Amino acid sequence: MLSESTEMYLKAVYRLTQHETYASTSKLAAALGVSPASVSEKIKSLAERGYLIHEWREGVVLTPEGRQVALDILRKHRLVSTFLVKKVGYEIDEIYDEACNLEHAVSDKLVNRLEEQLGFPKVDPLGNPIPDRKGHVEPRHHRMLSEISVGKTVVVQALDTVDSERLSYLRSLGLVPGNEVTIQEVAPFEGPLTVLVAGNKVGIAPALAAIVGVSNGSEGHK
């Protein structure tokens, strides 16, 4: 049985390498809240055990074995997150720490039962795809809100952050998966976007708009 620390590291590498080719030591340290020295030591251990490939001066990537572990823990995390929101009444900004605590404790049998009870959801409450029992992840295709032209109406599909403060703020604006958003104005020189969501006109900084994944609605939020 793998340690909680190992599962957290492999999950973090998976998340980081969704956006970049390699996960750097510094970004892993920031994501996990540990020192770069601790990350370097753990990387060496996980590489020796066959879970990571360490490219000198580049960073790390998952081996097939490491990827399977990461997908297994992500499946548990995202199904637990979905359960907390749909069945227990948690808000999206309250689930990350709870799901992190529970993902290491739930068995495959229990998480499979959760999936059945939830109706086999494809995505979690943040719009992240949920790996199936064989480790397959259905690709999601969306653009970011910061890329949408003025006058366009789109549907929020995913929120690319686990930061509770950002999620709480986005929720307060109505920028959550499933809601329609119309771009009304984009201020020049990297100024804020003015959007209409749920009948309210709100402003959002470009940095926040860049973590809101949207589509024209053809995909639908399941």
Would you write out the chain's pLDDT as a tens digit for each of its 222 residues? 789 999 999 999 999 998 889 999 999 999 999 999 999 999 999 999 999 999 877 899 999 999 999 999 999 999 999 999 999 999 999 999 999 999 999 999 999 999 999 999 999 999 999 999 999 998 888 899 999 999 999 999 999 999 999 999 999 999 999 999 999 999 998 899 999 998 899 999 999 999 999 998 544 444
**Start-end of CATH 2.30.30.90 domains in the chain:** 143-215
Which residues pair with residue 23 across a beta bridge? 60
Q: CB neighbours of 33 closer than 8 A, spacing ≥ 6?
A: none
CATH code, residues 4-62: 1.10.10.10
How is residue 31 written in tokens? 């994501």
Give the type of residue at 133.
R
* CA end-to-end distance (rounded Å), the chain: 33
CATH code, residues 143-215: 2.30.30.90
How is residue 210 written in tokens? 């860049």
**Start-end of CATH 1.10.10.10 domains in the chain:** 4-62
In a 3-state reduction of DSSP, which class is residue 197?
strand
In a 3-state reduction of DSSP, which class is residue 201?
strand
Cα separation, 2 vs 8, in Å, equals 10
Contact call for residues 116 and 79 (beta carbons, < 8 A): no
Place of tokens 């999936």: 115
